[in-house]
Structure 1
Amino acid sequence: MDLNPPQFSRFVHDGLEIAFFDEGDRSGDPILLIHGFGSSANVNWVFPGWVKALGEAGYRVIALDNRGHGASSKPYDPSLYHPPQMAGDAAALLSHLGIGDAHVMGYSMGARISAFLALGHPHRVRSLIFGGLGIGMVRGVGDWDSIAGALLAPSLEDVTHERGRMFRAFADQTKSDRQALAACISTSRDLLSVEDVGRIEAPVLIGVGTKDDIAGSAQELAALMPHATALDIPGRDHMLAVGDRVFKKAVLEFLAEVGRR
Structure 2
Amino acid sequence: MNLNTPAFSSFTHDGLRLAFFDEGDPSGVPVLLIHGFASTANVNWVHPGWLKTLGDAGYRVIAIDNRGHGASDKPHDAQAYRPWVMAGDAIALLDHLGIPEANVMGYSMGARISVFAALANPHRVRSLVLGGLGIGMTDGVGDWDPIADALLAPSLDEVTHARGRMFRAFAEQTKSDRIALADCIHGSRDLVARSDMGKLDMPTLIGVGTKDDIAGSPQELAALMPNAEALDIPGRDHMLAVGDKVFKQAVLAFYARVAKR
Q: TM-score, normalised by structure 2?
A: 0.99
Q: Letter of the aligned partner of 2:30 in structure 1?
A: P
Q: Deviations over 1:36-80 (max 9, x none)?
A: 000000000000000000000000000000000000000001110
Aligned residue-pair number? 261
Output aligned runs, 1:226-237, within 5 Å.
226-237=226-237
Contact 2:3 2:55 in 1 (8 A): no
Match of 2:64 in 1: 64
Contact 2:3 2:24 in 1 (8 A): no
Match of 1:162 in 2: 162
Residues 1:197 and 2:197 aligned together: yes
How far residue 2 of structure 1 moved from its aligned partner, in angstroms, is 5.8
How far residue 156 of structure 1 moved from its aligned partner, in angstroms, is 1.0
Contact 1:25 1:55 in 2 (8 A): yes
Match of 2:220 in 1: 220
Contact 2:35 2:107 in 1 (8 A): yes
3-state secondary structure, aligned to 2:259:
helix
3-state secondary structure, aligned to 1:84:
helix
Paired-residue identity, %:
74
Contact 2:132 2:238 in 1 (8 A): yes
Match of 1:147 in 2: 147
How far residue 18 of structure 1 moved from its aligned partner, in angstroms, is 0.6
| 2-structure distance, mates of 1:119, 1:205 | 16
Match of 1:51 in 2: 51
3-state secondary structure, aligned to 1:63:
strand
Match of 1:182 in 2: 182
Match of 2:84 in 1: 84
How far residue 201 of structure 1 moved from its aligned partner, in angstroms, is 1.1
Q: Letter of the aligned partner of 1:182 in structure 2?
A: A
How far residue 155 of structure 1 moved from its aligned partner, in angstroms, is 1.1
Contact 2:159 2:165 in 1 (8 A): yes
| 2-structure distance, mates of 1:165, 1:3 | 32
Match of 2:120 in 1: 120
How far residue 5 of structure 1 moved from its aligned partner, in angstroms, is 2.4
Contact 1:111 1:131 in 2 (8 A): yes
| 2-structure distance, mates of 1:96, 1:62 | 12
Residues 1:4 and 2:26 aligned together: no
Q: Letter of the aligned partner of 1:4 in structure 2?
A: N
* Deviation beyond 6 Å, 4+ runs, structure 1: none
| 2-structure distance, mates of 1:197, 1:135 | 10
| 2-structure distance, mates of 1:227, 1:68 | 33
Tell me how large the CA RMSD over aligned residues is: 0.8
How far residue 154 of structure 1 moved from its aligned partner, in angstroms, is 1.1
Q: Letter of the aligned partner of 1:187 in structure 2?
A: G
| 2-structure distance, mates of 1:257, 1:95 | 26
Residue segments in structure 2 that go unaligned for 5+ positions in a row? none
Match of 2:238 in 1: 238
| 1-structure distance, mates of 2:144, 2:132 | 16
3-state secondary structure, aligned to 2:123:
helix
Residue segments in structure 1 that go unaligned for 5+ positions in a row? none
Residues 1:137 and 2:148 aligned together: no
| 2-structure distance, mates of 1:150, 1:5 | 31
